[in-house]
Amino acid sequence: MKIAIHGRNFPEKARPYIQSMFDELAKRQVEVVLSHVYREFLDSAAVSHNSEATYQTDQGISDVDFIFSLGGDGTLLDAVTHVGPQQIPIVGINIGRLGFLATVAPSSIRLMIDALFNEQYSIDERVLVGVRSNPDIFGNLPFGLNDFTITRTQTSSMITVHTYLDGEFLNSYWADGIIISTPSGSTGYSLSCGGPVLLPQTNNFIITPISPHNLNVRPMIVMDTCQLAFEVESRSGNFLAALDSRSFTVEVSARISVQKEAFKARLVKLSDDNFLNTLRSKLNWGWDIRN
């Protein structure tokens, strides 16, 4: 088995679990390839990883069986860009905090490795949002797992986002911006702006305005088979376009369209991994101090 590993810095309490993971992989003679940024951090943190092979994050990874993401959901979003159309299965190990996407607890890493070797797991395919623009904004990474957002710059007043659905005019959003969220991203930025939670396999996008001037403007759910297009007006002459954690300042002359990407992200799910359980535990649903 050959496994790529990407991660970020971790709290000291997670060190024994991470070292144990590398020891277990070495014991099972797994070939390990580290992202170059994670290799540098592991070396500085004096974690023994027994791996000399690395890959450049801007070039991506191929020819591996799995990629481990050690961190929070942001780290897993990075891993999605490393994999891209290769659709390599991603194992999200939650060294971060919330963890809607990275669901494997550090204490369960050994059990997870057993499950991989015994093929006791399933693959959860997640829709990606794809962005096409003129001029090009996101280069060779025009896709994201969570959301695409158009927002005002820090120094500008609210913007107007003229939005079209399959070529037909939908609305002009006079707001701080707009979010186009996948079901995976429904528990992220969109949720904090009043958007609904969607089950991961729902075939929809969410259009969520950010602080709209008109209070009767609400989030809207559309089929993910549609194409959305945007034209932006801004007094500053520019706006911010963001795809997951990657953002750029864009001139208002840009023309942008959004649709479902041709490939998907493939997340590894263990037998006890259930989205409804994750919702209840992460959002404290049903929690009441009186109980």
The percent helix, strand, coil of the chain (3-state, each to 5) is 25, 40, 40
DSSP for 47-101, please give it.
-------EE-TTT---S-SEEEEEESHHHHHHHHHHHGGG---EEEEE-SSS-SS
Judge residue 258's burial from the number of C-beta atoms within 10 Å of its C-beta, 0-12 exposed, 13-18 middle, 19 or more buried. buried
* Cα separation, 193 vs 218, whole angstroms: 10
Q: State the catalytic residues.
A: 73
Preceding peptide of 135 cis, ω within 30°: yes
Q: Which residues of 34-73 are buried (b: 16+ CB within 10 A; e: fewer)?
A: bbeebbeebeeeeeebebeebbebeebbeebebbbbbbbb
Cα(134)–Cα(160) distance, integer angstroms: 19
The three-state secondary structure class of 186 is helix
What's the half-sphere exposure (Cβ side, CA atoms, 13 Å) at 166? 5
